[in-house]
Amino acid sequence: MLIKYKEWDGNAPAGLILSDHDFNQFRHWIFEISGISMGPSKKALVAGRLARRVQHHGLRSFHAYFEHLHRDTAEHQIAIDLLTTNETHFFREPRHFELLRDVVLPGHTGAHPLRIWSAASSTGQEAYSIAMLLAHTLGQTPWEVFGSDLSTRVLEQACSALYDIAMAREIPEDFLRKFCLKGVGAQAGRFLIAPEVTAHVYFSQINLNQELPNVGDFDVIFLRNVLIYFNEETKRGVIDRLQKKLRPGGWFFVGHSESLNGVNPALESYGYSVYRKRVPGAPPAPPPKRRHT
């Protein structure tokens, strides 16, 4: 059973005011946990997303709710989930999937199972997009996709592999026919990622702002559209921890509006917001070949 919290990004109800002092407390709290920096423009969002939780507990103020967070472990996770949810889509930023298909996968030797980490997987669309491409391209070559996120709420949906039918338009037609099952009856209006894909995908809660658990080594890491929420110090720490999980010669994908230039010496730019981990003694990676249109 999926549980979906009702979120509201508007203003808090009349009489429930988020003061600058209380907003700064929430900003500091979420930064300490996740490394996410919330600017002043996020004040209305914080008020809107937490207002219903204030009312749910019969509290009179955001300050009382902030104090309640430190006494209630379950509420602690609910607030994290509400404040860290990020937008995601199937096959977002298509050029990255083209590069994965045309450059990364042909270079895999098959000496070990190909492992890809979607390090901020949210509700799972990125992880399943990668998995569908691998299932289509690699044949019998062993592979797996690991997805992680700080929010347990979004991971619950990711594990279900069940999505609103409107999202199907984001998936290439051949992948949609091959790897997606259209819901009927009680599941009408939704679709399910097929078992031959989900059998190779697993998810776990991980806080990238803390020491990483033993998840093994990866050939590719996706960390897209997340770094923009971090300050420079947090960004460097996150990238340093992640690149240690990347095999030499492995690939690191960030969002098109993000850059790792000068962030970590182990990673060199390949172009298109893609980086490779240096192989000791190897020459610099060649630039990507641009397609003629």
Q: CA torsion sign, 275 to 118 to 169 to 143?
A: positive
End-to-end CA distance of the chain: 47
Cα 98 to Cα 15, 94, 102, 259, distances in angstroms: 51, 6, 6, 19
169 among known catalytic residues: no
217 among known catalytic residues: no
Give the neighbor-by-neighbor strand order of the sheet with 180-182. 162-164, 190-193, 180-182
Token pair in block for residue 71: 């006494």
Cα atoms in the Cβ-side hemisphere of radius 13 Å centred on 127 = 31
Given the residues 22, 81, 149, 219, select the one marked as catalytic: 149
Token pair in block for residue 98: 């083209």
Helices 62-69 & 20-34, crossing angle to 10 degrees? 30
Given the residues 22, 27, 49, 224, select the one marked as catalytic: 49
Continuous segment of H or E residues that includes residue 173? helix 173-179
- What are the residue numbers of the active site? 49, 149
